[in-house]
Structure 1
């Protein structure tokens, strides 16, 4: 497994380098630059001032030279300075990264803990009452737009019932653990709904296919209990396609929670990346997108390791899965 992990980490570094070059190029193609935005509020700036500022920020250099300077600085741990927040990029992204990991992790755990038992309950008797009800709820969960669901959550639980805060991360003057947890409830539920529906649908399909296999009929013929058949023989073999979906969704949760973070005024990576792109904050947008890519790559490597743990027939070698 060590050779496999070294190989995958090498591939991940290559992907990150390619992503940094492509993202840097796309950001450079955006209309305007940081100097233009800084000067838009001061009509008395002279041409000499513009030239001096462009030279100071390296915007007068060719594209490849600018990217090379940024890349060499990144290798030394210097990812640049955020224009919007007037602070080093890592100082800005550090707290936002932890916020997103907390929100994403809780939503992911909630989705898995609800979806897996629901998928087994639905697959146990396809076409039955439980299967129809779970399918109906899954279709509703997939179809509901996140922004509309967030509004419903706010109106019901914050405005009408007053059970949870409508937004933010902590109450001014409080900020304790209980207060922080209360502010997380609504965004976590909103973010988890679509994932629950997706995982349940895929888990149900995989479980139905597994329960039709010969070894399941053999286990039942030997007198194994229904619980043993479902959880020991069926559930484990149905996990592999579900783990693939979870790994892909994990990266999407990290960078795709922009709507939820905006609706609940939650300071996470999604909103930070959006603000950086809209504000032409090149360094902040670039590093934020690279962090999102890193999380997606790490989730895929973790999924490959999970394959080997779930199915002993799968071995991780230096050349890939065997």
Structure 2
């Protein structure tokens, strides 16, 4: 297991290195740079002063040389300064990464709490009215665009009913007040996630219910509940875990839209503001953290396989 973890960590480091080059190149090829913004804000700046500033910040160098300089600094823990916030990029992103982890974590756990029982329940009653109703709700959740869903939730719960705030964040001093600010974005992400998980859970459970070991367990006198919880659920979770790991990337992209609509100060909104404001260091580091989150989710999924099925070994 340790050798497998070491190999996966090395592979993840390689993927991060490649992604850092790709992201740096894409951001570097964007039109304009921080000096152009300075020129726009200060029309009296001469071309000579602009060129001097580009030389100071290394913006006159080829993009690959700039990347190597950034990589050398990053390996020492220096990810550069934020142009928009005038602070180290890491100091800006770490608290906002925590905000996004809270938002995504609550949405993910709530989606699992709804999707797993609903998928199993629908699979044990195929073609019943309950199965059709669950499928209809799942397809509705998959089909609704996250941004449109977020707007509808704001109109209903914030504007029409006035129960919840339309956006923003709490101050961290009142737990229940903070939950009120989280309610709408968590609801939007949960609805956008739960439909797909229900469909995959139902399909995996239906496949497990057709296996010989289920008929053998029923023939030995086990109750339907014991068979479902002890045999069907564990085996059905193996393909679902893969989907859940891939859902982390979709959840993060959905969080980007949701955070922007609800003015929630997380990674998505910060990356969006950094790209719009040509804040290269924050945008680059934020996208790398998003890549790292996806890699960790896939690693945890691989480790979960051996726990769900002891026949799977990484020795």
State the TM-score bracket (shorter-chain normalisation): over 0.9
Q: How many Å separate the matches in 1 of 2:21 and 2:144?
A: 36
Instruction: Report the CA distance between 1:252 and its aligned residue.
Output: 2.7
* Aligned match of 1:44: 44
| Counterpart contact for 1:101–1:254, Cα < 8 Å | no
* Aligned match of 1:299: 297
* Aligned match of 1:180: 178
* Aligned match of 2:283: 285
Task: State which drifts further: 36-45 or 70-79.
Answer: 36-45
Q: How many Å separate the matches in 2 of 1:155 and 1:28?
A: 39
Q: TM-score, normalised by structure 1?
A: 0.95
2:100 matches 1:63: no
* Aligned match of 2:141: 141
Task: State which drifts further: 138-147 or 148-157.
Answer: 148-157
Q: How many Å separate the matches in 1 of 2:156 and 2:64?
A: 53
* Aligned match of 1:153: 153
Q: How many Å separate the matches in 2 of 1:86 and 1:177?
A: 30
* Aligned match of 1:224: 222
Question: CA offsets per residue over residues 183-223 of structure 1, 9 Å max, x none?
Answer: 11111010011211010000000000110011111111111
Instruction: Report the CA distance between 1:230 and its aligned residue.
Output: 1.0
Q: How many Å separate the matches in 2 of 1:54 and 1:121?
A: 62
Give the CA RMSD over aligned residues.
1.2
* Aligned match of 2:193: 195
The 3-state SS of whatever aligns with 2:168 is coil
| Counterpart contact for 1:107–1:189, Cα < 8 Å | yes
Instruction: Report the CA distance between 1:254 and its aligned residue.
Output: 2.6
Any residues of structure 2 matched to 1:230-309 within 5 Å, and which?
A: 230-309=228-307
| Counterpart contact for 1:147–1:263, Cα < 8 Å | yes
Q: Structure 2: give runs of 5+ residues left out of the alignment.
A: none
2:80 matches 1:75: no
Q: Structure 1: give runs of 5+ residues left out of the alignment.
A: 318-322
Instruction: Report the CA distance between 1:229 and its aligned residue.
Output: 1.1
* Aligned match of 1:320: none
| Counterpart contact for 2:189–2:254, Cα < 8 Å | no
Q: How many Å separate the matches in 2 of 1:255 and 1:53?
A: 35
2:27 matches 1:27: yes
Question: CA offsets per residue over residues 82-135 of structure 1, 9 Å max, x none?
Answer: 111111101110111000000000000000011000000100011011100000
2:314 matches 1:316: yes
Q: How many Å separate the matches in 1 of 2:174 and 2:311?
A: 48
CA 27–298 in structure 1, closer or farther in 2 if over 3 Å, else same:
same
* Aligned match of 1:11: 11
Q: How many residues align?
A: 315
Q: How many Å separate the matches in 2 of 1:105 and 1:314?
A: 27
* Aligned match of 2:162: 162
* Aligned match of 1:214: 212
Q: How many Å separate the matches in 2 of 1:48 and 1:127?
A: 75
| Counterpart contact for 1:255–1:292, Cα < 8 Å | no
Q: Which runs of 4+ in 1 moved over 4 A?
A: none
The 3-state SS of whatever aligns with 1:257 is helix
Q: How many Å separate the matches in 2 of 1:256 and 1:76?
A: 32
Q: How many Å separate the matches in 2 of 1:255 and 1:35?
A: 30
Instruction: Report the CA distance between 1:160 and its aligned residue.
Output: 2.3
Instruction: Report the CA distance between 1:255 and its aligned residue.
Output: 4.1
